[in-house]
Amino acid sequence: MHDDLIALIDRFSQIGSTMDGGVRRLTGSPEDGAARTLFAQLATERGASVITDAVGNMFATFPTAPDADTTVLCGSHLDSQPTGGRFDGTLGVLAALDAAAALLAEGTPLRHNITVVNWTNEEGARFQPSLTGSSVFTGKYTADFALGLRDRLGTSMGEALEAIGWLGEDSLGLTPVHNLELHVEQGGHLEESGVQIGAVTASWGVRKLTLSFVGAPSHTGPTAMPQRRDAMRAAALAITRFHDQMEAETARLHWSAAKIVAEPDSPNVVASRVTVYFEIRNPDQAVCTEVGDRFMQAITKDVAALGCAIDVATDEARPGTPLSAEGVGMTLEAASALGLSATPMLTITGHDALALAAVMPSTLVFVPSVGGLSHSPLELTHPQDLRNGGAMIQALLRRLTA
C-alpha cells in the first residue's frame, strides 16, 4: 500500500511539473483541472462516489459504513504555489485516498464512512485569501465571496473553476465527525530532533496586513522630482522599515513582505499605487497585533512626507488555533503502536485542518521536511517518511471509524 502511495505521488508530480523539478498547479488552471480529473478517476476506481460543491471542493466518499449518515473527513489540497514542490498538500490527499481504499477493501463494516477531500485554493497563490474552500465549508466565507475573488488579470475564481469544469453544486450530505490531515512539516523541527511524526497541538498566531501606498501617476522623465508622489518609493521605504523593526524585536517572530503589486505597472509612469502583502507570525497572536501596530505607527509619518497615503486593504488577525486534544493523543498512541517516534508540536504554517477546527474535532499530522524547505521545487520528504505518514493515516482512520 505504501509503495503505491509513492507511485501516486510520482504520478501527480507530472501534472504541472516544472523544469527545475517542482510543481506549478494554481487554482483553476488547466493543471489543477487535470489533477482533479485524475483524483476523481482514481477515487471512483477504488470504490468512492465523488461530488463537487459550489466552490470546487471535491469529496470522495468511501462507503465503509453504508447505513450511517456520518463520515470522517481526511485529505488536504492539490493546488500549489507558483514554485511548489511535489509533496505539499498532495501527500495528504493521496495518503487519505490510499488508506480509505484499503479500509474499504477489507470489507469490515465501520461506524463511519470515510470522505477523502481535495480543498479548493488552500494555497491562496492565485486568489486571496488562502484556505478558501475549507473556510466556505465551515461558514467563515460565503460561496459568493469565494467565487468572486479575482487574480491579477481580473479572472474570478468562479470563472476559473468553470473554465476547467470543476464548478459544482452538490453538498456533502453526510455529517462529519472528525477531520484528519497529513502534511509535510514545512519546517525543520522534526528533522533536527530526529523525530519521525509530529502531532500538531495548535498553530502560531499571524497578522496579515495588505497595505496600498497611494501616490499619483506622472511621467518618469520630465516630471520634476519635488512634484512626484512616488508610491513605489513609499512602499520601498515601508518594506525597509518593516525588516529593520522585525529584526530589532525581542519576541520570536517570523515575518515577510512577500508580494508586491504596482500600478499602473509601466516603466515610464511613476507608480500611483503599490500594494504590499506583509505578514507577522508568533505563537501569541497578541504579540503579532502589538508589533504590527507599532509598524503602522512608524511608517505613517514617513510615507506622508513623500506625498503618499496608506490604504489598509486587509488587516487579518488569525489567532493560534488549537487542534483536537483527543487527536493528538491518538496520534501519539498510533505512532507508538507502529514503532515510530512522535512528539507534540506547534505549526507555524496555516492548513485546512486549522480552518475545520472551528466546527469539528480536527487532527493534523506532520512528517519531516528535509532542510525545513517548502514552497520550493527543492522541497523533499524521504520515501520512508512518506511511508510512515501513509501508515499513520491508515492507523488513525481505523481508530476514528472503528
Known binder of ligand: residue 88?
yes
Do strands 58-62 and 113-118 pair parallel, antiparallel, or not at all (unpaired)? antiparallel
Which residues does 60 contact at the CB level (< 8 Å), separation at least 6?
39, 40, 43, 44, 48, 49, 50, 97, 100, 115, 116, 117
351 in Cβ contact with 130 (< 8 Å): no
Distances (CA, A) of 185 to 35, 101, 224, 335, 386: 23, 25, 52, 16, 12
Q: Which residue has the cell 497563490?
A: 125
Known binder of ligand: residue 178?
no
How deeply is 315 buried, as exposed, middle or buried, from its count of CB atoms within 10 A (0-12, 13-18, 19+)? middle
Cell reading at 355: 480552518
Known binder of ligand: residue 265?
no
Known binder of ligand: residue 183?
yes
Short-list 339, 325, 323, 326, CA closest to 400: 326
Q: Give the relative orientation of helices 383-401 and 90-106 as an angle to the nearest 10 degrees.
A: 50
Q: Encode burial over 170-191: b for 16+ CB neighbours within 10 A, e otherwise.
A: eebebebbbbbbbbbbbbebbb
Cell reading at 107: 470489507
Which residues does 101 contact at the CB level (< 8 Å), separation at least 6?
46, 47, 48, 62
Cell reading at 162: 468553470
How deeply is 34 buried, as exposed, middle or buried, from its count of CB atoms within 10 A (0-12, 13-18, 19+)? middle
Can you tell me the distance from the alpha carbon of 118 to that of 121, in angstroms, rounded to the nearest whole number? 9
Known binder of ligand: residue 243?
no
288 in Cβ contact with 209 (< 8 Å): no
Binding positions for Zn(2+) are 77, 88, 123, 183, 375
Which residues belong to the annotated binding site?
A: 77, 88, 123, 183, 375
